[in-house]
Chain A
Amino acid sequence: MKLLRDTWLIFERQIQLLLRNPVWVFVGVFQPVMYLLLFAPLLKPALNAPTQAAAYKIFVPGLLVLLAIFGGLFQGFGLIAELRAGVIERSRVTPVSRLALLLGRSLRDVVSLIVQAVIITLLALLFDLRVFIGDLLLAYLMLALIALMTSAVSYGVALKVKSEDALAPLMNTVAQPVLLLSGILLPLTFAPGWLQGIADWNPFSWAVDGTRALFAGDLGNDKVWQGLSIIAVLAAAGVVWAARQFARSVR
């Protein structure tokens, strides 16, 4: 199928270029490891958790969702560089599927996120975190959907604004409230009512709750399917919108 073939071609190239860049490997792997090693020890007392493993069950899913959101949101910068080099325009004169131009790139982002997530999970296992494999895979699906959505949106916005100067403040403005209102770093259990009320409108808050439920082994929790469905719908909408930007972008 043309879409699959085209997506694979773009994905293959993007992965190739990614692996060629040692900076990425450093940032992508070491940064989350630092979080885990340097931030996590503060957690047990802060969260008032009975054991270190219990603290990890709360913190690790939050960290992973955070990585998925930020990993995706800032991918647009790379696209602007490609835009400037003329690579996007060169692709757009070929009959390649416009959806593939987006999906190939977003899939690279998803794959690199999942690699990060696996590394972090393995490390956390050393610290006595225990997760059932089926739950873990569902949690990864949630992360993949989040990264797909945020990177697609970032690409779409990059094609619209076409300059790093506009993209950076825009993404920061989006990311900050999303981060604060999702209970990513600390659960919102102790938040005052009004804060809870706002957080209910933040889709990422649902995603974090769902992921935490999965890490807690609570597959039957409503938050799981609710989080997954909300993020899946948003990811689909993000992809459709961003692919349209690829089809019509001017210069």
Chain B
Amino acid sequence: MIETRGLRKSFRSRAGRETKTVDAVRGVDLTVAEGEIFGFLGPNGAGKTTTLRMLATLIEPDGGEATIAGADLRTDPAEVRRRIGYVAQGGSTWDESTAREELVLHARLYGIGKAEAHRRAARALDAFQLTEYADRKCKTYSGGQRRRVDIALGIIHEPKIVFLDEPTTGLDPQSRAHMWDEIRRLRADGMTVFITTHYLDEADALCDRIAIMDHGEVVAEGTPAELKREISGDVVLVGLDAAATPQAAEVLDTEPYVNKLETGDEGGLRLYVDEGATAIPQVLRRLDHAGLDLRSIELHRPSLDDVFLTKTGRSLRES
């Protein structure tokens, strides 16, 4: 559905008298299949929005090429526009208009006739539970309601692909869960959904496939499960009193099944093992044997954050 090769974009920005070049996106290759929810995961400034804006024909790439829903981004941007929907990170509604007016106008800008535009607006308002507020000015909406109008605008013309730039940022947990349901419904309707996020759980739970982006480059691509599987082994977190920690570290460091051992800041140990399920009983036995008291023990499966950590040397949580 989407195929990009070597997509690049740099911005020149002026700070004082110096002009600096920011390489926002440096060679992105992606393949997105029809009917999947594809997630773009990355920290602030990774280049997610810039990539999306290029794919949505809003800015011209400096280099590379892309085919979107069968249309060539370079040679036929007008056709690309007809086949995609795009929902910007920062919202897109006008304070003084109502949701219904916005939806009708937006549909008509896609060439849809007046009567049909009204029908579609009514249907979209219904689907996104907005009917109650449909004829109130947008400035009176809550953040979540306004975000739902944005998404409804992006799909009013029933595009093959919709790009959603951080659809759930700023929503409370309940609205987020609702938004996930809406996005899954779009997929059920046969739409290909391309979202960006910097939430690990969102990428993990919602997306069929993800690409992890950092500093303008894709550092990993695959299903969440595949990516996590690449990180070999599990992590066992051993909770101990600070006083007992050094001795426990000494005892466990020599065990053959412990690949690596780290001491936590406030006591406790992090053990990297091949197989958590078999390691835990052995750890328990060994500590018991040494007469050390254990406060807790936890098996930690690798998360997407661990994937990010191994690929970039940084944690996504910290950045």
Interface residues of A (CB under 8 A from B): 2, 6, 9, 13, 16-17, 20-21, 82, 85-87, 89-96, 250
Contact = CB atoms under 8 A, between A and B. Distances in A.
Given A6-B109, A9-B109, A90-B88, A95 B94 contact: no
Interface string B69-105: 0000000001001101110101111111100010001
Contacts of A21: 96
A6 B95 CA distance: 22
Interface stretch (B55-63, B125-133, B222-230, B293-301): B55-63
Contacts of B97: 13, 17
Q: How large is the interface on B (under 10, 10 to 19, 20 to 34, 35 or more residues)?
A: 20 to 34
A86 B105 contact: no
Contacts of B88: 86, 89-90
Contacts of B286: none
A93 B56 contact: yes
Given A95-B78, A95-B82, A85 B94 contact: yes
B136 interface: no
B153 A85 contact: no
Nearest to B59: A250
Q: Which secondary structure dominates chain A's binding surface?
A: helix
Contacts of B85: 93
A9 B110 CA distance: 11
A251 to B, nearest CB: 8
Contact of A85 (B78, B93, B101, B110): B93
A24 to B, nearest CB: 12
Contact of B106 (A17, A85, A94): A94
Contact of B110 (A20, A89, A94, A250): A94
A87 B58 contact: no
12 contacts: A6-B109, A13-B97, A13-B105, A82-B94, A86-B92, A86-B93, A87-B92, A89-B58, A90-B153, A93-B58, A94-B106, A94-B109
Contacts of A89: 58, 88, 92
B246 interface: no
B91 A94 contact: no
B116 to A, nearest CB: 14
B178 interface: no
A9 B92 contact: no
Contact of A90 (B96, B106, B111): B106
A160 to B, nearest CB: 14
A3 to B, nearest CB: 13
A6 to B, nearest CB: 7
Given A6-B109, A9-B109, A13-B105, A93 B86 contact: yes
A87 B105 CA distance: 12
Contacts of B58: 89, 92-93, 250
A167 B58 CA distance: 23
B91 A85 contact: yes
Contacts of A90: 88, 92, 106, 153
Nearest to B93: A85
Contact of B109 (A20, A82, A85, A96): A96
Contact of A93 (B81, B90, B91, B108): B81
B157 to A, nearest CB: 8
